[in-house]
Chains A and B, each alone.
Chain A
Amino acid sequence: MSTVIIGLSLGMLLFLLASGLTLIFGMLGVINFAHGALYMLGAYLAFDVQLRTGSFIAGLAAATAGVGLAGMAMERLALRPLYSRPHFYQLILTFGFILVISEAVKIVWGLGYQETPMPAALAGTVELAGSTIPVYRLFVIAFGLLVSAALFFVLEKSTFGMLVRAASSDGEMVRILGLPAAAIRSAVFGVGAALAGLAGAISAPLFPIELGMATNTIIDCFIVVILGGLGNIRGVVAASLLIGMVRAVGYTFMPSWVDILTFAMLIATLLTRPQGLFSRQARLA
């Protein structure tokens, strides 16, 4: 049972991360290489604010808002001039941001590992089907579900979601209709980045915070979005849970093979369904 819970919570964390990546890709056509760096920035911000105020909620809010704003600034200053150029310029540009963000974090918080204390209200454990489960893991799962529901609702049902979808399918037309297409793009990028910051804050009490987060997690994210089909939020939910479960089961039974197992899944997917496990369209990108 505890393996299942760990797998689900890992999967939900991955989903929080990958959903931002895939949202930005699906709506703007940009692969944000710096997504992992934004996630790391979120974790550090949450750690810092929580240390100062003693409140987990404040840390969570600061990380989400701070990273969201950083993302918007990034989009406004650096990505906007590049939309007309071939797509890999954006990919390469965001790689530059990894270096800049990592260095900024190094300047502010130093090189060492940081530990965030578990919020007191979520620090306990509960008995579930005969095994002891940390409450925080359950909180991560619930929170992930909440965010995914909110994301679906906003994108599929709200007026803002409609505008976003319109701007992604034909930005020029949206602009001609007198709607602020550029601002919508900034907002989407900001929301995607904020999701990374949120994921960072959520993961802060679970893992030590360190600089390697920026580069290690982004690979997992990429695996998730390739398996799920880029730009496909439903696929990302399924793929995150799949990877999360594989990791949790792997850690229990054959810890040294976990990474290789994940990559084997990626390769198997590419050989059999290069468009992604959960995508119906052919991937011609």
Chain B
Amino acid sequence: MKTSRQNAAIAACVAAVVLAVPFCTQNDFLLNLSILIMVWSIFAVGFDLVFGLLGMVSFGHAAFLGTGGYALALATQRYGLSFEAGLGLAILAGAACAWIFSIFALRVSGIFFALVTLALSQLMYILADSKLREWTGGADGLPGIGRPELAGIDFFDTVNFYWYVAAVFALVIALMAMLRASPFGRAVAGVRQNEIRASQLGYNVQRLKQITFLVSGAIGGLAGGLLAAVLMYMNPQMLHWTTSGDVIIMTLLGGAGTLWGPVAGVLLFEALKEWLSGWTPYWYGILGLVFILATLYFPQGVLGALQARWGRSRPASPASPADGGTAPAAPLAPREGSLS
């Protein structure tokens, strides 16, 4: 139960920071950055369900983000639904997209899973960019996406919208914490550790994978809807496969397979991006270099490394890699039948 205590401590710190930000600064840029970090965190935490918990590399998560964004945009703009209904549809759209993906992608595993999800999301990108132009606005995108209207509060005001996003963020994190600790979450972690053993124990491995992917897609859709509202603009770039790459970078930098790792990764990613783009237009390449070095020398991510150190300084409680799935050296254990 050591990891859960750490998670609770981190949660307290994060909550304190999230609560403090709007009181410390009225700066629109910083507030918007904080909102973006929370939205991307929602996406990354959802992504890590598949990546860290289930141990499968999806290179197609941009599709869920994108379908969520378009669902919200279309629901609120074209059909005049409320923002909350749009967000609900975004979640459904993300889940539906993930369900369709899973039909094809779960027929293969390992590296092929990454390739198939990549190809499918690129198909979605092409569709959004050209074939569905009437709905998506093509490369021009859809401008002027609305924000929520609740109880007469003006959410176009950055501070108010900040609280809205923070509430959703808290809700998603709480749900993820419960999901990871639930019997379902434990079973999914069991599939990662040894798929054959899990199926011998009577788990329907294929079903577990599919549900995990679906939930991950639903959260991706939610993040996409929120992102569209933050940017007040939606274009196919959100569906491009480099977005899927970004979320992998974020998750791995922070620490895959942990509850707070992806959040730390997003924070690091956005901070690096802001800092680097301040003094060079070539920040993306430097970020790539940082990412390469991190993959080589720091595969457990910032939080993974911290938790490993934390665990070492207190040898009384044996580290339980099952909890949160962070065996320090290999956050994602190689599975039976991985390519060789």
Contacts and interface: CB of A to CB of B under 8 A. Distances in A.
Interface residues on A, range: 35 or more
A87 B339 contact: yes
Contact of A98 (B108, B109, B116, B288): B288
B144 interface: no
Contact of B114 (A88, A215, A223): A88
A101 to B, nearest CB: 8
Interface string B315-340: 00000000000000010111101111
Interface stretch (A63-71, A198-206, A255-263): A255-263
A234 interface: no
Given A89-B295, A226-B116, A95 B248 contact: yes
B337 A266 contact: no
A93 B335 CA distance: 19
Given A93-B296, A259-B126, A274 B118 contact: no
Contact of B116 (A96, A260, A270): A270
Interface stretch (A9-17, A103-111, A121-129): A103-111
Interface residues of B, number: 48
Contacts of A146: none
B111 interface: yes
B156 interface: no
Contacts of B107: 270-271, 274
Nearest to A284: B337
Given A99-B284, A100-B285, A285-B339, A222 B111 contact: no
Contact of A93 (B119, B286, B295): B295
A93 B292 contact: yes
A271 B108 contact: no
A223 B119 contact: yes
A4 interface: no
B110 A87 contact: yes
Contacts of B123: 259-260, 263
Given A98-B288, A274-B108, A256 B131 contact: yes
A91 B114 contact: yes
Contacts of A81: 296
Interface in B89-124: 104, 107-112, 114-116, 118-120, 122-123
A158 to B, nearest CB: 25
A276 B63 CA distance: 24
Contacts of B295: 82, 89, 92-93, 96
A97 interface: yes
Given A95-B248, A103-B288, A266-B119, A86 B332 contact: yes
Q: List the 8 closest A-B pairs by CB distance, nearest first.
A: A103-B285, A99-B288, A96-B292, A285-B110, A263-B123, A96-B291, A285-B339, A88-B57
26 contacts: A78-B292, A78-B296, A86-B335, A87-B338, A91-B111, A95-B248, A96-B289, A96-B295, A97-B288, A99-B284, A99-B289, A102-B285, A103-B282, A103-B285, A107-B282, A107-B285, A215-B240, A219-B122, A260-B127, A263-B120, A263-B122, A263-B123, A270-B116, A271-B107, A274-B108, A285-B339
Interface of A: 29, 31, 78, 81-82, 85-89, 91-93, 95-100, 102-104, 106-107, 215, 219, 222-223, 225-226, 230, 256, 259-260, 263, 266-267, 270-271, 274, 283-285
